[in-house]
Amino acid sequence: MAREPLSPENAHAPRRIRVGDGPLARFLLIGTVLLVTVLVLVAPLLAIFAEAFRHGMGAYAASFSAPDTQYAIGLTLFTALIVVPINVGFGIAAAWCIAKFSFPGRNLLVALVELPFSISPIIAGVAYLFVYGAQGLLGPWLGEHDIKIMFAVPAIILASLFVTAPFVARELIPLMIAQGSEEEEAAVTLGAGGWRILRLVTLPNVRFALLYGAALCNARVMGEFGAVSVVAGNIRGQTNTLPLQIELLYQDNNAVAAFAVATLLTLVALVTLVAKAIIERLDAARVKAQGKPGH
């Protein structure tokens, strides 16, 4: 946060001048930023709800009665239910070895964990097609054994796993490094085993970061579009997740239904951000109380 301009030791100092502290600069900068923010960040959110309720509450509610849309809601929830726990597990494992140990190739491993962030979802989708598609690396073998992954639910799950792999790990790694290993070492000397330490010492210390990582991972899984649209094949009522259903409804000129479905995902996003704000506040309170980063 900004330094306190009026703390006791500098109350006597000559007027503290920092760049941009003049009233005009302040007013212009804050005003401009707020205006642009309303236009580029607030307006899109409002537009979604305005369009969804354009023809009233009834039309909005009716949008969810279509079987395809209900199927898409179910498939999206199902995907999140599988992907989020797996990536939480992966995040904990990755954070444990990266934060608590040093070994050759550790930096490379960190870079690998974060790699999916830098890769276009379309590339991820195409890459999965080249593994599990009919012409792909494992395609012939999968065909022989009659296993269908591409253009089916397993591909949606795999692509989502790829795209959201870094979310939990990225929240945990810096925090666990900052917290150090003293508490775990103390637990070892007291005779605790690895699982016990993880459950009773490490995870309670990082629980808020873990929750936030999982919430972000969840929001992203539910909203993933590019990667899923390559591997899902857009089969109505079979492989349509909510974002794909939005596109389909939009192409069908069923704008109200498209925006109605979009409000669901917008609410997921907003809840995630509120959770983040609460977690940050709790964390700040904890740092104040204990003097260490806690999340």
Choices 59-67, 140-148, 216-224, 284-292 (CB under 8 A): range interacting with other proteins: 216-224
Compute the least distance from the CB of residue 55 to other proteins, in Å: 14
- Measured from the CB atom, the residue of 128 and 294 that comes closer to other proteins is 128
Q: Give exposure, 157-173, as e/b (b: 16+ Cβ within 10 Å).
A: bbbbbbbbbbbbbbbbb
32 touching other proteins, by CB under 8 A: yes
Q: Where are the beta strands (DSSP E) in the chain?
A: none
Q: Determine if 7 is a binding residue for other proteins (CB under 8 A).
A: no
Q: Residue 77: CA atoms inside 13 Å, Cβ hemisphere, count?
A: 7
Closest separation in Å from C-beta 289 to other proteins: 20
Among 79, 121, 150, 232, binds other proteins (CB under 8 A): 121
Task: Rule CB under 8 A: say whether 265 interacts with other proteins.
Answer: yes
Query: Residue 228: CB partners within 8 Å, gap ≥ 6?
Result: 121, 125, 156, 159, 160, 241, 243, 244
Q: What is the gyration radius of the CA atoms in the chain, in angstroms?
A: 24
Interactions with other proteins, residue window 166-195 (CB under 8 A) = 181, 184-185, 188-189, 193-194
Which residues in 220-259 contact other proteins (CB under 8 A)?
A: 222-226, 229-230, 243-244, 246-247, 250, 255, 258-259
Integer Cα distance of 59 and 81 in angstroms:
29
How far apart (Å, rounded) are the C-alpha atoms in residues 99 and 110? 10
CB of 260: closest distance to other proteins in angstroms?
11
